[in-house]
Chains A and B, each alone.
Chain A
Amino acid sequence: MDTMMQALALVLNFETIVTILIACLFGLFVGAIPGLTATMATALLVPFTFYMDPIPAIATVIACTAMAITAGDIPSALLRIPGTPSSAAYTDEAYAMTKKGQGAQALGISIVASCIGGIVGFLVLAFIAPMLAKVALRFSSFEYFWLAILGLSCAALISSGGPIKGLLALFLGLAISTIGMDPLTGAPRFSFGSVELMGGLSFVPAMIGLFAIGELLRYQPGQENLVSNAKIRNPFSGVGKILRQYRVNLWRGSLFGTAVGALPGAGGDLGAWISYAMAKRFSRTPQKFGTGHPEGLVEAGASNNSALSSAWIPAMVFGIPGDAVTAIAVGILFMKGLNPGPQLFTQNPENFYAVMLIFLIANLLLIPFGWLAVRTANSIFRVSRAYLNGAIVIFCLVGAYAVNNSMFGVLVMGGFGLMAYVFHRANFPIAPVILGIVMGPLLEQNFLTSMIIARGDLTAFFSRPIAAGLGAVVILLWGLPLVLRLLRLLRPKAAA
């Protein structure tokens, strides 16, 4: 109880509340603009967190992401342009509702389902995470090594572009993380005598370059602003009745999204796609899907935000981020000295519960801010990208500079921006790169520690039961696609 009161005091103060409100507005604005992603919004906010206390700093990320993901549904429903990748799963359905004159209702369903899904994810996080942390306290470097490998493997395998490109992108991030001092011996690596490289490449300029500069490089001047012709009325009118009608979808989406989000590397995008497909598969009226039917929208919308909350389970309990946004958040937690991991629950439990409360507040704020976003949607769409770009480059510049008060960060940001552009053209995923940079030191430290304990004997990685189990899952994860491919090759022959 004492811990909860301390957590309440950390959250319910002027600085944190104002920070949450500003981050919500910012996330809502960026998420609603087609082409600007929730990850980019989070990346641009990081420089502002440098000088904040830890809880307001992490509050900016949580509030901004929750709002941006939900706001991404607005251009998706009104313009048929998904604001965020997770909105893409049900863009056609929502747009079909808009064409039927039910655009506001489609957005209302999405907002309320997101809110409920987010709260389910929050509840699971609040109850499961401390239990998992008790188990994680018994983990040694072997278990942490396999957990890190498991998270990174999921990120590489599920990412767009296929497993080879995912693997190469991930290992590029890991290779970049080896620049600078070795975590165990302090030996400088690949620094070429440069003092700046000796300290390693900071993840902040890298992240801004990958998600903001890379995005700007793909900008095509002269694109017309898009304005929807849909009449926007109260988005919540009639939503209660629809949600009652499709309550099974609502809870199934929330629970499934929570389960998928908790898997390291999976994230909300995949959850939304699978939930929409599941809604169609189990529907009594699958023929109505794609014609402006709210059933899939309820399930996928709930799945979206529940996955967002539960993605924090591996991040908070093990310090292993599941996606790009939680990778950024884990980076911020480390910067602020709030090292994520099981110790967070024993040494600073009030901080964990404060983060939980922020989740709850951010999800509840989806309703009023969502209403505001829908009502002002056409005004947001009218903001020209040309002017936005001018503001974004200044935020990028100052963010990359402020990490070490050096122009070196700006150069690093530019380099990563170019890399993101080339990777996008070649259909390489970007998120594994940032996961690799953030996770690299943790992975290397646990790997080297384990190798020193085992004196180079690799079988020691399977000598403890949990480590062996996790190792088997990793091997299965990489081996299964090969087995499935083999089965596909054999199937026609068997049929013949």
Chain B
Amino acid sequence: MSLQDEDDLLPPPDVPSPPLLDVALGLAYAVGGAGLIVASGAFPAMVPGTIVGPGLMPMLCGAIFLIFGAVLSLTAFQRYRRDGNVTEGEVERGSLPFAIVLMGGLVAVVWLADYLGFVVVSFLYSLAVTLAGGARWIYAAILALSVTMLTYVLFSNLMRVPLPRGSLLAGLPF
């Protein structure tokens, strides 16, 4: 079997990634790696005269980040100089408004859960995400309410997970 034949046995390669994104990620890895090496140097060694101790594993990770992050950045930069930043294929990029609702909603849930309680925040969050996906509001509201209540009963009543009850709505049964 030739080397070319061996290649045929493998899945087709994925779409190429944008070189500048690789450059940025490689740099982030390299900088993070350098930081990790410095930070892990502060841990004491367990075997005197060696680096064996709590800092060894983070230091190894840092070294790998530094070396291979730099290699990734450099090779991606070479690719950018040769081909430009136009090689992104059919990647599912998603939608910015939907992503904002999804991630913004998550942050809002963390902030508001202690005040409004699990039932209210998860209903609102689910409703917002469903509507952001283009659903009809009446069906979205029915789905959000029913899944929220089902999850609440399942986790809070049956599995005894202490889901936040919310200080503002303390008088309500959920």
- Give A residues with C-beta under 8 Å from B: 47, 50-51, 85, 88-89, 160-161, 164-165, 167-168, 171-172, 174-175, 178, 182, 184-185, 187, 189-190, 213, 216-222, 269-270, 273-274, 277-278, 384-387, 389-391, 393-395, 397-398, 401-402, 405, 407, 410-411, 413-414, 417-418, 421-422, 424-428, 440, 443-444, 447-448, 451-452, 455-456, 484, 487-488
- Shortest Cβ distance from residue A190 to the other chain B in the assembled complex, whole angstroms: 7
- Give B residues with C-beta under 8 Å from A: 3, 8-11, 13-18, 21-22, 25, 29, 36, 39, 43-44, 46-47, 49-50, 52-54, 56-58, 61-62, 64-65, 68-69, 71-72, 75, 91-95, 97-99, 102-103, 105-107, 109-110, 113-114, 118, 122, 125-127, 129-130, 132-135, 139-140, 143-144, 147-148, 151, 155, 159-164
A468 to B24, CA, bound (A): 39
Q: Which of B43, B91, B92, B93 has the most CB of A within 10 A?
A: B92
Point out the residues of chain A lying under 8 angstroms from B16, CB to CB: 427
Point out the residues of chain A lying under 8 angstroms from B109, CB to CB: 397, 407, 410
A448 touches B133 (CB 8 A): no
Please pick, from A164, A390, A487, the residue contacting B72 in the complex, using a CB distance under 8 A.
Answer: A164
For B44, the closest partner residue in chain A by CB is: A187
Please pick, from A164, A174, A220, A405, the residue contacting B61 in the complex, using a CB distance under 8 A.
Answer: A174
Q: Which of B8, B106, B132, B162 has the most CB of A within 10 A?
A: B106
- Shortest Cβ distance from residue A152 to the other chain B in the assembled complex, whole angstroms: 12
A401 to B118, CA, bound (A): 10
Point out the residues of chain B lying under 8 angstroms from A391, CB to CB: 126, 143, 147
A411 to B114, CA, bound (A): 14
Tally the A-B contacts, defined by beta carbons under 8 Å.
220
A398 touches B155 (CB 8 A): yes
A395 to B161, CA, bound (A): 13
B52 touches A456 (CB 8 A): yes
Main SS of the interface on chain A? helix
The 9 closest A-B pairs by CB, nearest first: A386-B133, A390-B130, A456-B50, A182-B54, A175-B61, A427-B17, A386-B135, A218-B92, A51-B159
- Shortest Cβ distance from residue A395 to the other chain B in the assembled complex, whole angstroms: 7
Point out the residues of chain B lying under 8 angstroms from A218, CB to CB: 92-94
Please pick, from A51, A411, A444, the residue contacting B110 in the complex, using a CB distance under 8 A.
Answer: A411
For B54, the closest partner residue in chain A by CB is: A182
A277 touches B58 (CB 8 A): no
Please pick, from B3, B25, B140, B159, the residue contacting A426 in the complex, using a CB distance under 8 A.
Answer: B25
- Shortest Cβ distance from residue A428 to the other chain B in the assembled complex, whole angstroms: 7
A182 to B18, CA, bound (A): 38
Point out the residues of chain A lying under 8 angstroms from B8, CB to CB: 277
B132 touches A425 (CB 8 A): no
Point out the residues of chain B lying under 8 angstroms from A172, CB to CB: 61, 65
Point out the residues of chain B lying under 8 angstroms from A452, CB to CB: 46-47, 52
B58 touches A178 (CB 8 A): yes
Please pick, from A270, A414, A424, the residue contacting B103 in the complex, using a CB distance under 8 A.
Answer: A414
